[in-house]
Amino acid sequence: MSVPELGRLGFGAAGIGNLYRAMDDAVATATVAAAWDAGIRYFDTAPHYGLGLSERRLGSYLATKPREEFVISTKVGRVLDPVANPTGAKDSDGFDVPADTVRRWDPSESGIRRSIEDSLERLGLDRIDIAYLHDPDVYGLDEGIRQALPALEKLRAEGLVGAIGVGANSSQALRECVLAADLDLIMLAGRYTLLEQPAAADLLPLCAERGVGVANCGVYNSGLLARPVVPEDAHYNYAPAPEDILARAKALAACCQEFGVELPTAALQFAANHPVVRTVVVGASTPQQITQNAQRMTTPVPAQLWTEMVSRGLLAEELIHA
């Protein structure tokens, strides 16, 4: 299976699933529309995002567009089961939505098939271009490798999904999956960024060797690299940033400033420049955010910025790609 063209920048749809805060339907639609207007044609979602809300909102907008003009990915591994007697409580997993369904880890072939069918219904589509196994490093890596990956290979062979892959925060877990199955893509979260590049040592070379593409996400490191000036209360890995991490981010920002480049612009473009990276996926909770990210991806960045980062010990020389 050849992976479809994804474009340099993709849209991550967790935000329109009410990640951390509620968003009304009009703002969600406007945000996806801003991505489309900026030329983005790759959209990534998951049942996990807002207990299906992200898929429903994304599908509703994309229904207005020709199917052959966009690429959509969703995720498998967790199915959504209805709650027998909903209490009106909110979801406890970071999304501001009613907890009227519950996530259940099910990496079996039947669970994967059900997940795909449910996602197609929520999206209102007849096919999914890319299916990723979602967070097996959190819920059960051995089970995921043993059950879910063969199931995904089977669904791809049957033509029920296009490309297959795995999405995770752990570069080691992703390496094990790449070794265990014939994957088309991985979705790498936060492990190859301007701040830190643990995936560069062995995961990305393995992907190059095996012809596995990378959708790079989490490239702002929980927002630490998302602003031109790094705030003192910045977060890293969803917690207050440790002093050494904060100092490194500030040094990167200062170096960028000397070359007239904003830190988020450098962060986006560095994340896109490795040869195996097919796209950088970023989220947005307003139209302005995704428009700004699209502009940052095309802003000129002088090559001297990267070499200066190397000279200051902020980047390894082998990580600079023409």
Q: Which of 20, 42, 49, 139 is catalytic?
A: 49
| Longest pairwise C-alpha distance within the chain | 61
Q: Is 236 a catalytic residue?
A: no
Crossing angle of helices 203-210 and 171-180, rounded to 10°: 20
Query: CB–CB of 257/266 below 8 Å?
Result: no
Q: Are 146 and 191 in contact (CB under 8 A)?
A: no
Q: How far apart are CA 10 and CA 268, in angstroms?
A: 11
Q: Which residues pair with 160 in a beta bridge?
A: none
Q: Which of 195, 231, 226 is nearest to 289 (CA)?
A: 226
- The whole-angstrom separation of Cα 212 and Cα 164 is 10
Q: DSSP string of 118-143?
A: HHHHHHT-S-EEEEEEE-HHHH-HHH
Positions annotated as catalytic residues are 49
